[in-house]
Chain A
Amino acid sequence: MNTANPATSSELLAAVASRELAGMRMVFAGIGLPTLAVSLADLTVAPGLEIVYESGVCGAHPSHLPETIADAVLITGAEAVLPMASLFGYVLQGGRIDVAFLGAAQIDRYGNLNSSVIGPWERPAVRLPGSGGAVEVMANAGEVFVVMRRHDPRSFVAELDFCTSPGPDRARADGGRPRGRGVTRVITDLGILSRAGDGAGEELTLTAVHPGVTAERVRAATGWDLKVADALATTAPPTDQELRLLREDIDPDRVYLR
């Protein structure tokens, strides 16, 4: 580790998320920390990773760090730009995506996500943007990674105020046949929660904590009785190479490394 200039929380999250992409081929990415994680993975553990954006871009080779999922720099020099009906219909619903990143305002123990409202939908205390493509990403991606910058009981809740994007258990209970395993990793500023996603009723379990974080602290920051893995790991801090790539090549202006 670069002891003279230690990793920030964002750098740690990006590095940890990038390592989880080892062996992946097709990733559906949003903007922000996922952009950094995917770019870093492409340069380290998953060379040749194809990034797909819901705007329709496949195989982007941007000259600058994109500011949106539809940034002009994603188009110029891209391998393909599809109409959205093809992107959602053939690529996502057609089952081509190995892993997708989603964000949320609330997550529950099964990895169901709320990005719609805080409070009742009819008269919300806070109206959030809503699904966008999240409900279809959850139903159709092989698995889903969630990155949360702040692990606290307001976000990690026992009961969602609204279920925007249901995991496979909820989907099956409603007669659905979800293709994917739902949320398998939640990467936060405190550690990593994991689900294998291959059995009914399976909960997110704390499988790793970041250096200096205790399991008790993570449990206190979680709104349900969080299970802790017997073999609780400590995440390895970003390596010198990961930090150099993030700081010098991927996000030199620190747009997302805030």
Chain B
Amino acid sequence: MDKTTTMSEAIARYVADGATVALEGFTHLIPTAAGHEIIRQRRRGLTVVRMTPDIVTDQMIAADCVAKVVGAFVGNSSAGSLGELRRRVEAGTLELEECSHYGMICRYLAGAQRLPFYPLRSYAGSDLPRVNPGLRKVVSPYPGPDGGEPEQVYVVPPVHPDVTIIHAQRADRRGNVQIWGLTGIQAEAVYAARHAVAVVEEVVDDAVVRADPNRTAVPAHAIDAVVACPHGAHPSFAQGYYDRDNAFYRRWAGISKDPERLKAWLEEYVLGTRDHAEYVAKLAADGTWDRLAVGSAPSGSIDYGRRLRKEHP
């Protein structure tokens, strides 16, 4: 089945007002273009689930798409603050459900496996359980080490996004998604969700995927739509395709600090472009893609082998 579609159709179909939307990619392969299309389609009341809510989250908040953020690190990497998120949290007008990186990972793991909770050795003594009642403590049903007192461990609840959107280097038309470099938490986030959209740098022939099945991070059975969108992870990066726009991350601290400047940026670069191709063309004018171009460092190739005889050995 051919699942390729346009970004506009994928967002229209899978992101409804009030939906819980996971956008995943840890620093690498952040689905920015999908976030921008959500802004263009003026979705409202979303719960955004993202381990590290960052620039694209800040932009969606500023465009009034977001009612609640679920995450673990609400910063602009190490390049300063997310201005809009900070303003709204400090004013008490944006709901934040806060845990930690491994807490988010375990929420996706529980969600993907349809488990009621997932245990982890975090949070004992932290103030986080006080502000996030979802972080709860259970007593192990087994004796502790050396047969002693059973251990007490914190657990996190599953997360089941209505849709998870990930960005990847490539996929075939059916949605076998191949990722290399940092694979982050994408597979867990996809399996936790009811629907999943894969945005990719390029759609490739089946033979390309099947020549290297270990590279497939998410199989087609878990993907509903495939969207080809070159440079769709900017300002983050796609290993082997283009580098991270560190200068833009640094600029975002200044842009987002001033609400008027932030509004103007959204008008010009997101609402003022018809789609991501126009955004990409706009950035080409100031040499962005030349600046972010990367050289080649191909992987060594491996040999999967093939059986020579017709009968079983």
Contact, CB under 8 Å: A133 / B102: yes
Contact, CB under 8 Å: B125 / A171: yes
Contact, CB under 8 Å: A176 / B152: yes
> Of B28, B90, B125, which contacts A123 at CB under 8 A?
B90
Give Cα A166 to B184, complex, Å. 26
Chain B residues contacting A57 (CB-CB under 8 Å) are 182
Q: Name A124's closest neighbour in chain B (CB-CB).
A: B90
> Of B109, B121, B131, which contacts A85 at CB under 8 A?
B109
Give Cα A50 to B123, complex, Å. 27
Chain A residues contacting B125 (CB-CB under 8 Å) are 112, 163, 166-167, 169-174, 176
Contact, CB under 8 Å: A175 / B182: no
Interface size on B (CB < 8 Å)?
Answer: 52
Contact, CB under 8 Å: B100 / A121: no
Contact, CB under 8 Å: B121 / A139: yes
A81, CB-defined interface residue at 8 Å: yes
Contact, CB under 8 Å: B187 / A68: no
Contact residues, A97-143 vs B (CB, 8 A):
112, 116, 121-136, 139-140
Query: Distance (Å) between the CB of B70 and the closest chain A CB?
Result: 12
The dominant DSSP class at the A interface is loop
Q: Name A120's closest neighbour in chain B (CB-CB).
A: B131
Give Cα A54 to B100, complex, Å. 12
Q: Name B238's closest neighbour in chain A (CB-CB).
A: A72
Chain A residues contacting B71 (CB-CB under 8 Å) are 130
B67, CB-defined interface residue at 8 Å: no
Contact, CB under 8 Å: A76 / B297: yes
Contact, CB under 8 Å: A135 / B122: yes
Chain A residues contacting B89 (CB-CB under 8 Å) are 124, 127
Chain B residues contacting A178 (CB-CB under 8 Å) are 121, 124
B128, CB-defined interface residue at 8 Å: yes
Give Cα A32 to B128, complex, Å. 26
Chain A residues engaging chain B, CB cutoff 8 angstroms: 31-32, 54-57, 67-72, 75-77, 81, 83-85, 88-89, 92-93, 112, 116, 121-136, 139-140, 162-167, 169-179
A-B contact pairs, 24 of them (CB 8 A): A32-B78, A55-B184, A72-B28, A81-B182, A81-B183, A84-B105, A85-B188, A89-B102, A93-B120, A121-B131, A124-B90, A125-B90, A127-B89, A130-B74, A130-B75, A130-B100, A132-B52, A134-B100, A135-B126, A136-B102, A163-B125, A166-B124, A169-B125, A170-B124
